Amino acid sequence: MKLRLLLISLIGCVSLGLLISYTAAQAPKPRLGRLTAEEEAALVPGLAALFTSGEKTDLRITRLAALHVPKGTPPSVFLPSGPFRVQWTGYLKTTEKGEYLIRAEGEGKVVVRFGQAPPLEWKLVKEQSGEPKSIELVKGYNPLTIEYFSLESGAGTLRLWWSSENFVEEPLPPDALFTRGDTESVQQSNLLRSGRQLFAERGCIHCHALPEEERKGSGPSMPELSRTAPNLIQSQERFEPDYLAAWILNPQSLRSHATMPQVLKGTAEEKEQQAVDLAAFLASEATARKESPLNEKLVAEGEKLFETLGCIGCHHTLERTEKDPHDRLSLRSVWLKFRPNQLAEFLKDPHKHYSWSRMPHFKLDATKEIPPLVAYLSKNTDETLPKFKQKGNAERGKKLFAETGCAHCHQLEKKETKPSLLGKPSKMDQGCLSEHPQETKAPDFQFSPAERTALQTFLKRGTESLKQDLPAEFVARQMQSLQCTGCHRRDGKQGKLYKILEEENLTGVPPQPMPTLTWTGEKLRPEWTRKLLEGNIDHKARPWLKSRMPAFPQRAEWLALGLSHEHGFAADENPKPVVNEEQKKIGAKLMEQNGGLYCYQCHAVGDKPAVQPFEAPGINLLDASLRLRYSYYPRWMLDPTRVDPSTKMPRFAPDLKTTTLKEIYDGNARQQFDALWMHIESLSQKKDASP
């Protein structure tokens, strides 16, 4: 009987196994171009790029299939300089099945594979374009692998382009590139880079000395290492002591995203005493504010400026405890922070005492803009600070300033000797990295478990990477840190400012679309971008926009260079057609209304305003060629809405080849646009030559 039951069980198990195998074999597989729901959910934008230099490897996500690595520069922050190889993997998502042309340019060797199709190969020579090669792609996700080999010198440049019968040649678009974000290698890379960034941004190097061999490098070190905490020079004139005491006691209670640690130790009563002592040392005794009736007209003007300048994208004036769906910082208590007139001084130059401040420098008008903003912020302050029972002692505060390590990060005098540093962190679960740092002598940064893990992962790898950096990786970090995409559209995603303005419209005016950042590194010449970010451009490219491009002088050079490298361009790379005087004359004619494209209808040229801009004003063409790289210009002219879906610029060549002006170059759009470029360039040259 038992044997019979055993045989029945065995037969049942075999049958069930065969049934499962048969069912799996008969289950419909996703067709080419489709992924399973699980696979699609794991995708993240960009491609996984595995860099190999010698015997070392490093992986990071890149948003483009492009790079520029000058000779003597490491291809990745965790690798040495020298010959290298890169393998990008992921998917190119298409909206239509059909034949596409792929073209590579740059220096080195590249092999491109789509699924099981034969590989496309190029040996690239500088200033010589690779020949386009045809490939059949399916609709949806096309598996993509790109192998790139640098020059023996260690220099490398690559740009990949594609085109079809429906669109002109363009870089592989970042909103069509995807890779798996759930792999162990990608997650480990994210941890490493997150830990490296935390080490720099939290100022670990101001307390911990690195070994000598890890402090010197042949190239520029990570820019964020030069970042210091806000200096406290003239702090007695700037800050209210009650606010300082509350801030020192618990920075996160006043600002949820505060990076300053809690440094006070002891009982609650002891910590309060230390806080008021430090505040007494750093700020003179508070004086009663002279409360004067608010000018409601000024408050109303400030409220409008708060919106139109874009302040509303990063800040709100709700209670600090009220959760904001857009993760903005409350300014509810900012009026309590500054002594009289000092908020106005801060708005005049936010970087004066903190060059790495994320607060943009808007170059606000001292009489027309700052007073209304100050009035608006003062009107929206109804919070009170904690009342401390103890009275502060400045002498005790001075001693505490040294004992608690404040001088490691904060400058108090114009000339100051830094205290001696601790050694490199060696124990990964103690001190600042302890799960309970409040129980140790170390500062409490309130690191989350994920942040502690990231720092531990980075420190175990070693801190050698801090002595070198890549502008392209700097851009990736700063885009997130500065919240550039809060205002600007990038890679198909609308900035949150646009949504906020739709929800919280104060002026009744519909929100204006900001310029897209998707192609900035290809579009703008780095020298122009640098001047723009330094705040050294004396006019707005888009004067009709009420929002204003802010300045970040400390970051400007690296941001400009990084945006260019990210798109595969050297800083001075700008190949363009040789100017022909006859073509230049034709270009001048094309600007006109009669027999031309009538550019003057929407575009101003210098002091000459546009004729009929109405709902579609264009940039001033006087400095267009100083701003733009030529390689971007033709594809913009041929198909503007593909480059920027929000633009009002018309498509002059409906078939992407010819315009209606058949009497000029037989309607050849590319030739006409080149002639127009030559004329526009001559306008810029006249501007440069003017006194």
The pLDDT assigned to 14 comes to 39
CATH number for domain 42-182, candidates 3.10.310.30, 2.60.120.1560, 3.10.180.10, 2.60.120.460:
2.60.120.1560
DSSP 286-313: P---------HHHHHHHHHHHHHTSGGG
Residues 547 and 310: beta-carbon distance below 8 Å: yes
Mean pLDDT over 632-654 rounds to 95
In 320-362, beta strands by DSSP E:
329-330
Min mean pLDDT across 293-302, 362-371, 391-400, 423-432 is at: 423-432
The pLDDT assigned to 127 comes to 77
Alpha carbons 502 and 43: distance in angstroms, whole number: 30
Alpha carbons 608 and 385: distance in angstroms, whole number: 55
Alpha carbons 101 and 72: distance in angstroms, whole number: 33
Give the β-pairing of 85-94 and 66-69.
unpaired
> Which secondary structure element, helix H or strand E, spans residue 4, and what is its range?
helix 2-26
Rounded to the nearest 10 degrees, the angle between the axes of helix 268-282 and helix 394-403 is: 100
Q: Which residue has the higher pLDDT, 129 or 680?
A: 680
Mean pLDDT over 60-77 rounds to 96
Q: How many CA atoms lie within 13 A of 560 on its CB side?
A: 22
The pLDDT assigned to 15 comes to 40
Alpha carbons 564 and 560: distance in angstroms, whole number: 7
State the alpha helices, DSSP H only, in 549-690. Answer: 556-566, 581-591, 624-627, 632-638, 640-643, 669-689
> Quick one: pLDDT band at residue 258, thresholds 50, 70, 90?
confident
CATH top-level class for 581-689?
Answer: mainly alpha
**Residue 160 structure tokens:** 């990949």
Within 8 A by CB and 6+ apart from 45, the residues are 61, 63, 174, 175, 177, 178, 491
Alpha carbons 64 and 61: distance in angstroms, whole number: 9
Q: Which residue, 394, 406, 391, is CA-closest to 284?
A: 394
Residue 2 has pLDDT above 60, yes or no: no
Q: Which residue has the higher pLDDT, 25 or 399?
A: 399
The pLDDT assigned to 268 comes to 92
φ and ψ of 468, to 5 deg: -145, 155
Residues 652 and 659: beta-carbon distance below 8 Å: yes
Alpha carbons 604 and 623: distance in angstroms, whole number: 11
Q: What is the DSSP letter of 353?
A: S
Mean pLDDT over 141-152 rounds to 98
Residue 216 has pLDDT above 60, yes or no: no
Residue 289 has pLDDT above 90, yes or no: no
Alpha carbons 586 and 580: distance in angstroms, whole number: 10
State the alpha helices, DSSP H only, in 434-568. Answer: 449-461, 471-481, 484-487, 496-503, 520-523, 526-534, 556-566
Residue 13 has pLDDT above 70, yes or no: no
Mean pLDDT over 453-468 rounds to 92
The pLDDT assigned to 174 comes to 97
Residue 17 has pLDDT above 70, yes or no: no
Q: Which residue has the higher pLDDT, 682 or 319?
A: 682
Residue 494 has pLDDT above 50, yes or no: yes
Residues 496 and 477: beta-carbon distance below 8 Å: no
Min mean pLDDT across 481-495, 557-571, 609-623 is at: 609-623
Alpha carbons 266 and 268: distance in angstroms, whole number: 7
> Quick one: pLDDT band at residue 297, thresholds 50, 70, 90?
very high
Residues 391-442 have pLDDT tens digits of: 999 999 999 998 988 988 998 887 666 666 676 676 788 889 999 888 888 8
- With a pLDDT cut of 70, the percent of the chain lying above it is 90
Rg (CA), the chain: 30
φ and ψ of 275, to 5 deg: -65, -45
**Residue 254 structure tokens:** 């006043």
Residue 291 has pLDDT above 70, yes or no: no
> Quick one: pLDDT band at residue 71, thresholds 50, 70, 90?
very high
**SS3 state at 676:** helix
Q: For tokens 């260019």, what's the residue?
A: 564
Residues 82 and 479: beta-carbon distance below 8 Å: no
**SS3 state at 655:** coil
Residue 140 has pLDDT above 90, yes or no: yes
DSSP 544-570: T-SS---B-TTTHHHHHHHHHHHTT--
Size of the chain, expressed as the number of residues it contains: 691
**Helix, strand, coil percentages, rounded to 5, for the chain:** 40, 15, 45
Residue 270 has pLDDT above 80, yes or no: yes
Arithmetic mean of pLDDT over the chain: 88
The pLDDT assigned to 683 comes to 87
Residues 167-213 have pLDDT tens digits of: 999 999 999 999 999 999 999 999 999 999 999 999 998 888 877 65
Residue 18 has pLDDT above 50, yes or no: no
Mean pLDDT over 94-122 rounds to 97
